Structure 1
Amino acid sequence: MARQIITTANAPSSPLYSQGVKAGPHVLVSGIVGIDPSTGSLVDNTIQAQTRQALTNCEAILQAGGASLDDVIEVGVLLTDPADFAGLNEEYARWFGSEPPTRYVAKLGVDLPGLLVSIRMTAFVG
């Protein structure tokens, strides 16, 4: 099975990882944060704003790979501060209301100034 690297200018990028990879019927999105791709900076210091931007960025990568949020089967969330769990859920519920994908939430293991959340996804487009 060949893999296709997914790139889009509508989400933050790094030379250290691919934004996404399509392999067969799966689209995998790297851990993406709340950086506005037009400014290269974190959007705000609230969990809701960073979650919203991270999900917007993930959606852009999914679209570049031929998928949508409706195709997502798993979401992984890393929080800098577990106390932000309720705020994360507040914004997350707006994106995945009925029949949400599987999900895990864990504590982010690195300390990056201002970063509150990182979100990764797997979609199935078969």
Structure 2
Amino acid sequence: MPPIELITAPGLPIPAGHYSHATRAGNLVCVSGQLPMRPDGTHTGDRPFEEQAEQTLANLRTVLEAAGASFSDCIEVTVYLVGVEHWKAFNEIYARHFGEWKPARAVVPVSALHYGYLLEISARAWVERN
């Protein structure tokens, strides 16, 4: 098994819990669940769903980039969504960020998330090492 690298994304708050933004083992990058927290650490739980979704995807992009990856390297994405009424709006925002690339994905309805957040996204990416 290759060594596991812990990845901290510059520009995002240090995780408050006992986890890393992401880990990398060989070519596999596993990104921890990203919430719509702003880079300065302030919360967006009081903001509209669309704003929360955009911030969450921006945070996901930042972590992927810190690992040398991008959305087009994602092989699997898991979305925890509060309120199935947001599914359509999320799908449109997600498709705009991922473009033509369609990794495997699960959208899991949940009853609540921390700080009034309406979504959380985790991902796995495959990145060839040079």
Same topology, TM > 0.5: yes
* Distance apart, 1:33 and its partner CA: 0.7
Preserved CA contact (<8 Å) 1:36 1:43? no
Preserved CA contact (<8 Å) 2:12 2:59? yes
SS in 2 for 1:100: coil
TM-score (ref. length: structure 1): 0.90
Counterparts of 1:77-116 in structure 2, within 5 Å, are 77-108=79-110, 110-116=112-118
Preserved CA contact (<8 Å) 1:9 1:37? no
- In the other structure, the counterpart of 2:73 is 71
- In the other structure, the counterpart of 2:11 is 10
- In the other structure, the counterpart of 1:59 is 61
Q: Which is worse superposed, 86-95 or 12-21?
A: 12-21
Does residue 38 (structure 1) correspond to residue 53 (structure 2)? The answer is: no
Q: Deviations over 1:82-106 (max 9, x none)?
A: 1110111121111112131111100
* Distance apart, 1:43 and its partner CA: 6.7
Preserved CA contact (<8 Å) 2:45 2:116? no
Preserved CA contact (<8 Å) 1:45 1:114? no
Runs of 4+ in 1 over 3 A off after TM superposition: none
Alignment length, in residue pairs? Answer: 126
**How far, CA to CA, are the matches of 1:112 and 1:99 in structure 2?**
30
SS in 2 for 1:41: coil
**How far, CA to CA, are the matches of 1:88 and 1:47 in structure 2?**
8
SS in 2 for 1:30: strand
State the one-letter code of the partner of 1:30: S
Q: Can you give the 5+ residue segments of structure 2 that lack an aligned partner in the other structure?
A: none
Q: Can you give the 5+ residue segments of structure 1 that lack an aligned partner in the other structure?
A: none
Preserved CA contact (<8 Å) 1:32 1:120? yes
**How far, CA to CA, are the matches of 1:96 and 1:88 in structure 2?**
12
Q: Deviations over 1:66-120 (max 9, x none)?
A: 1111111111000011111011112111111213111110022544342100001
Q: Deviations over 1:31-86 (max 9, x none)?
A: 10111012422275222111111111111111111111111111100001111101
Identity, % of aligned positions = 34
